[in-house]
Amino acid sequence: MKNTILILFPVVFILYMSVQIFNQRQTSSEAIDYTSIKMGLISSSISRDVKSVHKSLEVSRLEEDEFDFGAYPDTLTAYLGTTPKLDGFISKGEYDDAEKIIGVKGWHSDTPPASEKKEDLSVVGWVKHDGRSLYFAFDVTDDIIYGFDTKRWLPSNNPDANNLNIEKGWPFWGDGIELMMNSTYQWEDNSRCVGDGRSWQFCCSTNKSILGGLGVGGLSSGLPLNTEVWERYEKWIRNGDMEASVRLKDKAEGRGYIIEWRINPNPCMKIDETNFVDLSKETKVGFNVEIQDLDEKENGEGNFSNMHHIDYWSKVSTNRKTDLKSFGTLIIKPIKMKVADQH
């Protein structure tokens, strides 16, 4: 009996300590300031202090027969299709050869629940490629457009949010879409976008843009917020490596806006130090899409910076959408979509 107790004691002690460490990590995580998470100011290694509790997860994009789609296996396919015209208009048949995204009902949210009223906030999106560039389009229904149907009110925690600079500006501030991409298709627990071709979080706003300034929609840079990343993103925009067209709908179309977005794999989708995503080969990349909705300030009371809705496609836990592990999967295929696959 004595020997049995001596054998079991270390096992019980290890289990007890593991539970205590896990609880400590959970408490620490819940105490993190969301503003810092949103802006990428918290290190992705914040929870790696006890490596024995959570084994880091890395997935090789070369293990074709054993792909692990992560903890949240939402998938979307980009087929080979015709080249769309980036003019802010969804022409008849222009995206008939593209897979469709429907939201936001059923999506997850940082302002839960995700909007369930179609006229308040909803979206139809498409994704495809033409062998040279990757394309996204979004037809957003939104009953109140920030800065056009409202004053350009500012959050109390950042009165300079509308600035288009690294010092105090928030590129995500306004109604719009964020795309998140992890071209390496590798991750570790709690790792986030690094802000180069390997992984990034980019904002397209109705409210402002790098090329047009405040009041002109377009690409408004992205996250994480630091000087090196800001300069890289701005270079991509000005060089045309990433391009977007934003148009507010007219009254006949209903309230909302259209976004059409083009991404060049080189330099925006980098696999490793020398290779970029090749659209002529079947490839899997990590991917998420977020839609943000600012209404009147009081409509977002209790939410981060009074934002009315922050909803995202990959069905992950609240406030974890920027973890690379939490991304869904975009499958790029070098073939055209079959008629039976069209929605």
Ordered per-residue pLDDT tens for the chain, 343 residues = 545 444 444 544 444 444 443 343 333 333 334 445 455 443 333 333 222 222 222 333 333 333 445 555 789 999 999 999 999 999 999 999 999 999 998 898 888 888 888 889 999 999 999 999 999 999 999 999 999 999 999 999 999 999 999 989 999 999 999 999 999 999 988 899 999 999 999 999 999 999 999 999 999 999 999 999 999 999 999 999 999 999 999 989 999 999 999 999 999 999 999 999 999 999 999 999 999 999 999 999 999 999 999 999 987 776 677 889 889 999 999 999 987 665 5
C-alpha 122/C-alpha 156 separation (Å) is 27
Q: Is residue 14 part of a domain?
A: no
Q: Is residue 44 part of a domain?
A: no
Between the two ends of the chain, the Cα-to-Cα distance in Å is 67
Number of compact structural domains in the chain: 1
Q: What is the dihedral of CA 78, 83, 86, 88, to 10 degrees?
A: -70
Q: Is residue 29 part of a domain?
A: no
C-alpha 19/C-alpha 23 separation (Å) is 6
* Bridge-based pairing state of the strands 121-129 and 75-80: parallel
C-alpha 305/C-alpha 32 separation (Å) is 16
Q: What is the dihedral of CA 98, 102, 107, 111, to 10 degrees?
A: 110
Selection from 83, 54, 20, 74 nearest residue 189 by Cα: 54
CA distance to 142, 145, 161, per residue, from 214 (Å)? 20, 14, 11
Tally of residues, the chain: 343
CATH number for 265? 2.60.40.1190
Q: Is residue 329 within 8 Å of residue 286, measured between CB atoms?
A: yes
Q: Is residue 120 part of a domain?
A: yes
Q: Residue 331 has what pLDDT?
A: 97
Q: Is residue 251 part of a domain?
A: yes
Q: Is residue 248 part of a domain?
A: yes
| Domain of residue 180, residue span | 63-341
- 111-124 in b/e form (b: 16+ CB < 10 A) is beebbeeeebbbbb
Q: Is residue 53 part of a domain?
A: no
Q: Is residue 308 part of a domain?
A: yes
C-alpha 123/C-alpha 136 separation (Å) is 12
Q: Residue 72 has what pLDDT?
A: 59
